[in-house]
C-alpha cells in the first residue's frame, strides 16, 4: 500500500481509466491548463492533450448537456462542476435528460456520464459555495450518487463510476483533498452500492458520510476511553444505498445515530432512518437519532460556519445520551 492524498487518488483513477479506454475524456471549467480549481486534474492535459482534457465555457448547463450528449453517443465523459451548489444550474440536463434517457429509450440508450463536483464547508466560501445537496440528486431515479471519505474509496469508487453505464454524481468533499491514506498500487475497484465498516463496535452504530466519517471516527476514539464502543458504517454510495449492511450493524448494536453535514429536513439521514425503521424496527432499543447541519444557509463567518455543521463533540454528546439513556 502506498500513502497518497485523496486528490492524488482521484487523479490516478482518471489517468488509469483514460489509458484503459480511449472513450474516456475530461471536461469542465479550468480542468485543463489550470489543472482544476482544487488541482485534481493537474498534469492530465499535458499527458493526454486538449482533445481529451477540455476546458469549457463558464456554463454548468452547457457542461452537463454536452456531457450527456457525448455519453449518449458512446463516449465516457468525466464532467467537472466546481461546486455542488452550481449543479442547480444544470438540473434540467441531469434530471430531465441524463437520468431519463435509458428508461425512455427502452434500454437502447446508455448515459455513462460521471459528474464530479465538490461539497461542504471548511474553506469559508459562504452560502453559495458550501452547501451539501446530495439528497437532491439521490431523489432522482436514474442517477447514482457517490460520496467517498478516504483516498482508497475515492480511487476505487471513481473507477467504478467511470465504467458504469449510468449517470453518476460523484461528490468530493473539498476538505478531504489533502487527507492521506493507503491506496493499493495495482488495479482495484470499489463497487457502487456497497457500504464499508470503518470501525467495528458493539454499543451503537453511527452511519456517517463524507467528511463526517472522519469526525465520527474521532468521536468514536474519544468515547472508547469512556467505555463506549462505536461501530461506524460509511455508505460510500448514497444511491444505491446498502441498507442491508446498515441493518446488520443495527442488529448487532441495537442503536443508531446518523451523521451528515447537510441540514436534516429531507436529508439522506431521514431516508436511512425510515428504511431502518421499516426493516429492522424490532432490533432497535432506542429511537434513531440524527446529528445534522443546522437549518440555515452556510455563513461566511468562520465561527458561525463551524457552528452550523456537526462537530466531533456534538457527535460524541449524542452517542452518550443515546447509550447512557440521557445521563
Active site residues: 129
CA distance from start to end of the chain? 43
Rounded to the nearest 10°, the torsion over CA 116, 71, 168, 179 is: -30
**224-261: burial string, b at 16+ Cβ within 10 Å, e else:** eeeebbbbbbbbbbbbebbbebbbbbbeebbbbbbbbb
* Beta strands across the sheet bearing 196-199: 196-199, 230-234, 204-208, 256-263, 289-293
The three cell numbers of residue 49 are 492533450
Q: Sign of the C-alpha dihedral, residues 152, 5, 162, 134?
A: positive
From the list 130, 212, 195, the residue with the least C-alpha distance to 157 is: 195
Q: CB count, 10 Å around CB of 327?
A: 6
Amino acid at each position: 500500500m502506498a500513502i497518497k492524498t485523496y486528490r492524488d487518488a482521484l487523479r490516478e483513477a482518471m489517468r488509469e481509466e483514460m489509458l484503459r479506454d480511449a472513450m474516456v475524456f475530461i471536461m469542465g471549467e479550468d480542468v485543463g491548463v489550470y489543472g482544476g480549481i482544487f488541482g485534481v486534474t493537474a498534469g492530465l492535459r499535458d499527458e493526454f492533450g486538449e482533445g481529451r482534457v477540455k476546458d469549457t465555457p463558464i456554463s454548468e448547463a452547457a457542461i452537463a448537456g454536452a456531457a450527456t450528449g457525448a455519453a449518449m453517443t458512446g463516449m465516457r465523459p468525466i464532467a467537472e462542476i466546481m461546486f455542488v451548489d452550481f449543479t442547480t444550474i444544470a438540473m434540467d440536463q441531469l434530471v430531465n435528460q441524463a437520468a431519463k434517457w435509458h428508461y425512455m429509450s427502452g434500454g437502447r440508450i446508455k448515459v455513462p456520464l460521471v459528474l464530479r463536483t465538490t461539497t461542504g464547508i471548511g474553506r469559508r466560501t459562504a452560502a453559495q459555495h458550501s452547501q451539501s445537496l446530495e439528497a437532491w440528486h439521490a431523489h432522482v431515479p436514474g442517477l447514482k450518487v457517490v460520496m467517498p471519505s478516504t483516498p482508497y474509496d475515492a480511487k476505487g469508487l471513481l473507477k467504478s463510476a467511470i465504467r458504469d453505464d449510468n449517470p453518476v454524481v460523484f461528490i468530493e468533499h473539498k476538505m478531504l483533498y489533502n487527507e492521506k491514506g493507503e491506496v493499493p498500487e495495482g488495479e482495484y475497484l470499489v463497487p457502487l452500492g456497497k457500504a464499508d465498516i470503518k470501525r467495528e463496535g458493539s454499543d451503537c452504530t453511527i452511519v456517517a458520510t463524507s467528511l463526517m466519517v472522519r469526525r465520527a471516527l474521532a468521536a468514536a476514539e474519544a468515547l472508547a476511553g469512556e467505555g463506549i464502543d462505536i461501530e461506524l458504517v460509511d455508505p460510500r454510495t448514497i444511491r444505491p444505498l446498502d441498507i442491508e449492511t446498515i441493518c446488520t450493524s443495527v442488529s448487532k448494536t441495537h442503536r443508531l445515530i446518523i451523521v451528515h453535514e447537510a441540514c436534516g429536513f429531507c436529508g439522506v439521514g431521514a431516508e436511512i432512518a425510515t428504511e431502518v425503521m421499516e426493516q429492522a424496527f424490532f432490533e432497535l432499543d432506542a429511537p434513531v437519532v440524527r446529528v445534522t447541519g443546522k437549518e440555515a444557509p452556510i455563513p461566511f463567518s468562520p465561527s458561525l460556519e463551524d457552528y452550523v455543521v456537526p462537530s466531533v463533540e456534538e457527535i460524541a454528546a449524542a452517542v452518550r445520551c443515546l447509550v447512557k439513556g440521557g445521563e
